[in-house]
């Protein structure tokens, strides 16, 4: 892991003056690459970037305004910045860049800083004006990569957004891609809805493609290029069904069913008091406590036997911010979640937390009781699972009988 400053980053891109050699972090990136090119790329783009003071780290005390780069391999986890700390264990494969300015965007047309900043950042191209709207003049990074690593039997790229974020995906000149917001629409797109590929889809699309072919010569150059794009996309539709059949692995039946339900839900709003201890709120602040109890059972579908059953109670605290918005705090640490303004969030958040807790609990319990084995048995001693089991034992005031004790016990019973 390396922190690189702006000047060196630009040098690496060949933009800075006197960039004769690549910095070590870029040389290293290809040298230890023995597993072939990456198969997937995920790009997250957040509205106003990261919170700089939580992202930025400088345990070496470099003065401001000076360029520097450091390897973080030897830096203790505690010295990592709050935003980067969760990535600590990937430190050998990380590059963090800090202090960049979108200088080219500042040289583009005046005004429209938000729009042109995003276009420059993801496409590296100049903006294109139509009426009052700005568009890119080139494809964005994700589309260029998708064209290289996308498989014909998969969607090359999926563009998602929360609450209609700013457009960041572009297919080319003035080809801003729509972002999907509706989870149902995304599900239908990824897993298929009505009118999926049928055996004769190929011939339908062949017919459609022939019509595009015939039309193209009658159009102006600009229209033609748009039609060709449409044509290419229709052709891309044709390929998946042809290949998917040979590439999909056979499905295997599931042997276990996990079922469960919410057995209790309590919600309360209080002021000060107990919350002050670790929520860091003033005694006059409102906080809200949601408590969910869920029951999860693992059932062997071949025999109908209940293999494991756990009941878990999870408490989620939320601090009231302005205007009735609650910020959520899980039991032991602040969640790295920025809440929107949706009315259902306290409930959703709490239920999700509870189900996650229940599932981890179920896995841990089952592994300890020998209902199933973890791929790596030592994982049971890891803090996450061990913590849940310990909390469970403390709560129920008992320590479950181990397999060894059980056989000893049954031996005694038989002996009597």
Partner 1 sequence: MNRPLLLPLVTALALAGCGGHPDGDRPVRQLTPTEYNNAVRDLFGFAPGATWPAPPGEDWAEYYEEDEVPHVWPWVFPAEVGVDGFEGFAEGQVASPWGVEQAEAAAAHFARWAPVAPAFWTCDRAAADGDALPDCAWESVQRFAHRAWRRPATEDELARLRAFHDANVAALEVDQGVVQTVRGLLQTPGFLYLVEESPAETAAGNVHRLTQWELASRLSFFLWDSMPDPTLFAAASRGELATREQIATQARRMLDDPRAREAVVRFHDQWLEVDAVTGNRADMGLYGERWAGDVLAQASTEEDALQDREELWSGILIGMRASMIREAQLFVEDRVFGSPGTLSDMLTSTEGWATTIAIEEDPIFDTAALYGATPTGAESRRENTHDDNLPLELELRRVTLPADQRAGILTLGATLAGRAHPVHPAPVLRGVFMLERLACEEIGQPPESAAGTAPPDAIGADSTNRERVAAVTSPAECTGCHERINPLGFAFENFDSVGGWRDTDNGSAVDASGDLIIRGEDTQAFDGPVQLAAHLASSDSVHDCYARTWVRYALGRTETPGETEALRTIQDRFRRNGGDIRDLLVAIATSNLFRTRPTAGGSQ
Which residues in this chain contact partner 1 in the complex, by CB under 8 A?
109-114, 128-133, 135, 155-157, 159, 167, 171, 174-178, 180, 185, 189, 193-196, 198, 200, 203-205, 207-208, 210-212, 214-215, 217-223, 226-227, 229-230, 233-234, 236-237, 267-269, 323-324, 341, 343
**Smaller CB separation from partner 1, 296 or 316:** 316
Report residue 112 as tokens.
Answer: 């429209």
At closest approach, how far in Å is the CB of 386 from partner 1? 36
Q: Are 105 and 126 in contact (CB under 8 A)?
A: no
Q: Are 153 and 247 in contact (CB under 8 A)?
A: yes
**Smaller CB separation from partner 1, 186 or 360:** 186
Q: Are 306 and 365 in contact (CB under 8 A)?
A: no
At closest approach, how far in Å is the CB of 334 from partner 1? 23
**Smaller CB separation from partner 1, 157 or 349:** 157
At closest approach, how far in Å is the CB of 155 from partner 1? 7
**Smaller CB separation from partner 1, 106 or 405:** 106
**Smaller CB separation from partner 1, 3 or 105:** 105
What are the φ and ψ backbone dihedral angles of 271, each rounded to 5 degrees? -115, 150
Distance CA 276, CA 67 (A): 42
**Smaller CB separation from partner 1, 289 or 313:** 289
Report residue 307 as tokens.
Answer: 């293999």
At closest approach, how far in Å is the CB of 82 from partner 1? 23
Handedness of CA 409, 410, 412, 413 (dihedral sign): positive
At closest approach, how far in Å is the CB of 279 from partner 1? 18
At closest approach, how far in Å is the CB of 223 from partner 1? 5
Is beta strand 256-271 parallel, antiparallel or unpaired with respect to 286-300? antiparallel
With a CB cutoff of 8 Å and minimum separation 6, the contacts of 104 are 120, 124
At closest approach, how far in Å is the CB of 143 from partner 1? 10
**Smaller CB separation from partner 1, 31 or 214:** 214
């Amino acid at each position: 892991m390396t922190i690189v400053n702006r000047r060196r980053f630009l040098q690496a891109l060949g933009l800075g003056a006197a960039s004769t050699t690549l910095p070590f972090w870029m040389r290293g990136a290809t040298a230890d690459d023995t597993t072939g090119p990456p198969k997937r790329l995920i790009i997250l783009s957040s509205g106003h970037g990261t919170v700089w003071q939580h992202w930025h780290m400088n345990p070496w005390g470099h003065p401001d305004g000076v360029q520097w780069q450091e390897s973080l391999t030897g830096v203790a986890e505690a010295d990592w910045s709050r935003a980067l700390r969760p990535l600590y264990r990937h430190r050998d494969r990380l590059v963090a860049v800090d202090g960049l300015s979108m200088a080219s965007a500042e040289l583009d047309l005046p005004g429209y800083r938000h729009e042109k900043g995003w276009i420059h950042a993801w496409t590296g191209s100049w903006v294109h004006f139509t009426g009052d709207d700005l568009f890119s003049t080139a494809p964005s990074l994700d589309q260029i990569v998708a064209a290289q690593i996308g498989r014909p039997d998969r969607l090359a790229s999926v563009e998602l957004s929360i609450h209609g974020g700013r457009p960041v995906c572009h297919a080319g000149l003035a080809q801003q891609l729509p972002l999907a917001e509706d989870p149902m629409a995304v599900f239908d797109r990824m897993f298929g809805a009505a009118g999926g590929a049928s055996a004769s889809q190929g011939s339908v699309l062949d017919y459609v493609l022939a019509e595009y072919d015939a039309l193209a010569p009658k159009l102006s150059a600009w229209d033609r290029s748009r039609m060709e794009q449409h044509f290419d996309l229709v052709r891309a539709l044709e390929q998946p069904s042809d290949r998917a059949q040979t590439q999909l692995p056979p499905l295997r039946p599931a042997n276990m069913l996990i079922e469960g339900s919410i057995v209790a839900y309590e919600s309360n709003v209080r002021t000060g008091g107990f919350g002050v201890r670790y929520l860091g709120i003033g005694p006059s602040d409102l906080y809200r406590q949601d408590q969910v109890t869920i029951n999860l059972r693992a059932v062997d579908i071949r025999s109908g036997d209940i293999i494991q059953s756990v009941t878990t109670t999870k408490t989620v605290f939320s601090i009231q911010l302005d205007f009735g918005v609650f910020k959520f705090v899980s039991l032991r640490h602040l969640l790295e979640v920025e809440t929107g303004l949706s009315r259902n969030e306290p409930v959703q958040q709490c239920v999700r937390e509870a189900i996650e807790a229940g599932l981890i609990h179920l896995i841990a319990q089952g592994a300890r009781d020998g209902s199933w084995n973890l791929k790596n048995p030592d994982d049971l001693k890891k803090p996450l699972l061990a913590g849940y089991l310990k909390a469970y034992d403390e709560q129920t005031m008992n320590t479950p009988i181990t397999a060894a004790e059980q056989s000893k016990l049954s031996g005694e019973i038989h002996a009597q």
